Structure 1
Amino acid sequence: MKPKIAGCVVLYHPDPGVAGNIRTYMDGLDLLLLIDNSPQPRQELAAELSGTGPQLVYHFMDGNKGIAAALNKAAELAAAAGCQWLLTMDQDSHFQPGDADRLISSIGPVQEAFGKIGIITPFQQVHARFAQEQAGPFTLLRSAMTSGNLLQLSAWLSTGPFAEKLFIDYVDHEYCLRLRANGFAIIQVNEVQLVHALGHFAVRRFLGKTIGVSNHPPLRRYYITRNGLYTAVKYGLFDGRTSWFIGKGMITDLFRVVFFEQQKGKKIMAMIRGAWDALRGHFGKAG
């Protein structure tokens, strides 16, 4: 029997291109959830998409409550509707033609091959650092980014909700590590690739090497540092390799800020404040 699948898109000031992104995967869903973190409700997107695909539910979060709260609301609504899986999407991500269907069709083969599944995810270049073992068309991962994931809702119910105290950044990696600590596997479908907008990402040259620069604003630098340090320490004994990657990434981020980015002083101070808040256990939305 085909599992019942919901999909959620977490919205924040969505631009006109978001509807096109959603149309690349909505036809394979039984339920589409638009979870809106914008300051004011924006139901134009729901009106544009309604009547052209699966059942659609628009939920306004009454302001930006963070990615974790939005994902938990989507999982709650999907589980209440009797869905077994939840496709979690960013508003700026999309699939190539046919790839969303291939991802959904992989559920049976992945379960047969690996058993206890938490997440099935498409290929993303950033996942290469988290690869543990490749098994033919699939790769066992240590972690995965949120967008494009098929989350098994029984695993969400068993493992517990996403960590809302993190608000944004590392919500996905903390949850993947927690899933694995509870015995659930994270599986990548190698033939399916998610297309994700790179935002302010830029490439620089340094000593003959190519360096990727994210250009995140100071507030994001705060969250990345705070939540990355928290996650690395929390799961250091469970998965030291991933914690090492996180620590290495924080040092690399500092290097990139110092040598390649604007607002160096503000970003460095934000990173220091993030590290301090992680050490003293101060979480939630920065304010």
Structure 2
Amino acid sequence: MSERPIGVVAVVATFNPDDGLLDNVRQIISQVDSVVIVDDASTNGAKVLSECEELGAQIIRFAVNGGIARSLNAGIRAARAQRAKYVLTLDQDTEIPDRYVETLVSAILSLRRSGVNVGLVTAGRMNGYDRRPRRTHDGVIVGIDVMQSGCLYEMDTVNEVGEFREDFVIDCVDTEYCLRLRRHGAAVVWVPNLELRHTVGATSPVYFFGRRFVIFGKSPQSSNHADFRRYYMMRNRLLLYAEFGRSDWEWLRHSVPNHVKDTLLAIVFEAGRASRLRAIGQGIADAIRNRTGPMASRSLPERRV
């Protein structure tokens, strides 16, 4: 029977958690030394958080909602205070399988022995599918920008590269971190045959004049993000194009077509086009002004981490 890795602290970002968090924490806490839950000013879920605390999780509560990056950074600082060697970042709705942490730690150790400068490792499959984009380089399956939930980092790497960018608030926080890792020459690695489950947003098929829209034999899905999400997605991605576009062509070639497609689907096919266009326009304007932080026209709204 394998031993549980030593020195791993899991950081779980929460906002209005439901009972599913309790099940996830039970699975996480059996695989790590410590679980730190950072709650971003929830208005619901106090009972669930208290039950997680009874299981042994440390709870950090914010009075004002400040975004996913601030939550992750607070958890990382708590992990650093516990002298953690590794940090696992998770959203409240991510489920990890048995021996998930053990597999990730083993992957880092193996990569290090092979001379790979590894930035992070994470599951190569999610919800039954291989995660993309991916390519094999010197026998290692590498990605570009990955969802932070389910990622394992060495604390030494975090100390060198820095924490998550809090002025981005919500969207592209994980993308920016991956780009920074790549700039440092550190690989973003998919671990094959390892899978996690993560609740995705309320996607829906696209319809045109009452008929399902199909292009090149595929039916695109609309993400149905709220207007404030569209603001952050547009603003933050444009800022990343300005900062990393010239130095990371592989990411740029992947990101731009996907972002354009997703934005066009939102403004052409989703309901509430006028308000969505205003949010996107404000995001463009603020990117041009290099303005970051919370959306200026309103207080920071509720989010799903």
Q: How much is the aligned-residue C-alpha RMSD, in angstroms? A: 2.2
- CA deviations over 1:18-70 (Å, ceiling 9, x no partner): 21122232211101000000245854334323454xx5210012221111111
**Corresponding residue number in structure 1 for 2:256:** 247
Question: CA–CA distance in 1 between the matches of 2:42 and 2:52?
Answer: 21
Distance apart, 1:155 and its partner CA: 1.0
Do 1:88 and 1:146's aligned partners in 2 also have CA atoms closer than 8 Å?
Answer: yes
Paired residues for 1:1-287 under 5 Å: 2-40=5-43, 43-50=46-53, 52=55, 55-123=56-124, 124=126, 127-129=131-133, 131-133=134-136, 138-204=140-206, 205-207=213-215, 208-286=217-295, 287=298
Question: CA–CA distance in 1 between the matches of 2:258 and 2:29?
Answer: 34
TM-score by length of 1: 0.90
Question: CA–CA distance in 1 between the matches of 2:92 and 2:288?
Answer: 32
Q: 1:107 corresponds to which letter in structure 2?
A: I
Question: CA–CA distance in 2 between the matches of 1:77 and 1:245?
Answer: 35
Question: CA–CA distance in 2 between the matches of 1:175 and 1:159?
Answer: 9
- CA deviations over 1:226-247 (Å, ceiling 9, x no partner): 0111112210122122123322
Do 1:127 and 1:143's aligned partners in 2 also have CA atoms closer than 8 Å?
Answer: no
Do 2:37 and 2:58's aligned partners in 1 also have CA atoms closer than 8 Å?
Answer: yes
Distance apart, 1:259 and its partner CA: 3.3
Deviates more, 1:206-215 or 1:71-80: 206-215
Distance apart, 1:140 and its partner CA: 1.5
Structure 2, unaligned stretches of length 5 or more?
Answer: 207-212, 299-305
Question: CA–CA distance in 2 between the matches of 1:254 and 1:183?
Answer: 31
Question: CA–CA distance in 2 between the matches of 1:92 and 1:203?
Answer: 23
- Give the 3 Å change call, closer, same or farther, for CA 195–51 of structure 1 in structure 2: same
Deviates more, 1:93-102 or 1:221-230: 93-102
Question: CA–CA distance in 1 between the matches of 2:110 and 2:230?
Answer: 39
- Give the 3 Å change call, closer, same or farther, for CA 84–133 of structure 1 in structure 2: same
Do 1:84 and 1:152's aligned partners in 2 also have CA atoms closer than 8 Å?
Answer: yes
Q: How many aligned residue pairs are there?
A: 283
- SS at structure 1 position matched to 2:225: coil
Question: CA–CA distance in 1 between the matches of 2:230 and 2:185?
Answer: 31
Question: CA–CA distance in 1 between the matches of 2:281 and 2:256?
Answer: 14
Distance apart, 1:250 and its partner CA: 2.5
Do 1:232 and 1:244's aligned partners in 2 also have CA atoms closer than 8 Å?
Answer: no
- SS at structure 2 position matched to 1:118: strand
Please identify runs of 4+ aligned residues in structure 1 that moved more than 6 A. Answer: none
TM-score by length of 2: 0.85
- Give the 3 Å change call, closer, same or farther, for CA 128–191 of structure 1 in structure 2: same
